[in-house]
Amino acid sequence: MLTNVAVLAFEGVAPFELGVLCEGFGIDREADGVPALDFAVCAVDDRPMRTSMGFSIQAEHGLDRVAEADLVAVPAIPRGGLPPEPVIAALRDAYDRGARILSVCSGAFTLGAAGLLDGRECTTHWMYTDELQRRFPLARVVPEVLYVDAGQVVTSAGTAAGLDACLHIWRQEYGAAVASTVARRAVVPPHRDGGQAQFIARAVPDCTADTLGPLLTWVLENLGEDHTVESLAQRAHMSPRTFARRFRDETGTTPHSWLTRQRVAAAEELLERSDQPVEWIAGEVGFGNAAALRHHFARVRGVSPKEYRRQFAC
């Protein structure tokens, strides 16, 4: 169970991505029912570190604090040159003792320098995926995703994807309800479908579900109904072909994939907060029967509904 988080910082650290990790794990949300974590930002020494934005910060904790952490996180850092050797050693030691490792954006380059990406799927910001692959040819870089969970090592893409990865870890450790609470406090969705591909062609999208926003809200309020591309297109006053294209443009995924994930997320909440049988939950969220729920739940979450309830039931 995650109880202790250490963030590694050194010269050139990006303050926004450092802030993402502080937002993700460092805020006390006990009043909202979120377990408190022992959180620390750690550095090689107590000297001021110049950030990528030109101002300096100072960490209160040294690298000895990293040895206590269940999760060691690395924010975006300079890609050129090598990270300080003590940072590399701290990461390798943390990995060898079984701690989980997380990187945000270009923090993946530090993980690569420590040898933690060799033979492992990973990602970084879409602008840097080719460079990451060139510099660490033994890594298996996946450029089109928001984050990659390779078990002990989790790597995420750009800034917002770092928060996606934090929420993913909260969900794995403490369940959907806790992850949703953290997301709500940060005013972000608890889970985003799609991947980096939707940003590569146009770095600043000209819409984010602007057209379909009301429809998606309605679907979430009526998950138990039998939705099809045709029925949703009719409700949106579009042809099915136009609707499917607009849906992918605005959400980064297909209607079927989006709907499946929303139903799985709703099932998670019901598994945690109710003692209703799986068959009832399947009908409530729109899967129709327990077999369909078990299939999709296991594919998306990697565990059965029964096992999920055993771990996270309130």
What would the mean pLDDT of 114-135 be, rounded to a whole number?
A: 95
What would the mean pLDDT of 28-57 be, rounded to a whole number?
A: 95
What would the mean pLDDT of 96-120 be, rounded to a whole number?
A: 97
Residue labelled with tokens 């129709």: 288
- Overall CATH class of domain 207-314: mainly alpha
At the fourth CATH level, the homologous superfamily of domain 4-186 is Class I glutamine amidotransferase (GATase) domain (3.40.50.880)
When pLDDT is cut at 50, 70 and 90, the band that residue 196 belongs to is low
Q: What is the pLDDT of residue 76?
A: 94
CB count in 10 Å sphere of residue 243: 22
Residue of 144 and 270 predicted with greater confidence: 270
Distance, CA of 83 to chain centre? 24
> What residue segments make up the domains of the chain, in order of their start?
4-186, 207-314
Are 4-186 and 207-314 the same fold in CATH?
no
Q: 145: closest CA among 173, 165, 116, 169?
A: 165
d(CA 71, CA 278): 33
CB count in 10 Å sphere of residue 298: 15
Alpha helices by DSSP H, listed for 45-175, are 85-96, 107-113, 129-135, 159-174
Say whether pLDDT at 237 is over 60. yes
Say whether pLDDT at 209 is over 50. no
Say whether pLDDT at 55 is over 70. yes
Q: What is the pLDDT of residue 197?
A: 52
Spatial contact of 122 and 68, defined as CB atoms under 8 Å apart: no
When pLDDT is cut at 50, 70 and 90, the band that residue 38 belongs to is very high
Q: 89: closest CA among 115, 60, 106, 114?
A: 114
Distances (CA, A) of 10 to 161, 216, 255: 21, 42, 43
Q: What is the pLDDT of residue 244?
A: 93
Distances (CA, A) of 14 to 10, 64, 78, 239: 10, 22, 8, 45
3-state secondary structure of 139: coil
Helices vs. strands in the chain: H and E counts, helices first: 14, 10
Sequence-ordered list of residues with C-beta below 8 angstroms from that of 303, at least 6 positions apart, any chain: 297, 311
Say whether pLDDT at 298 is over 60. yes
**Model-level pTM?**
0.71
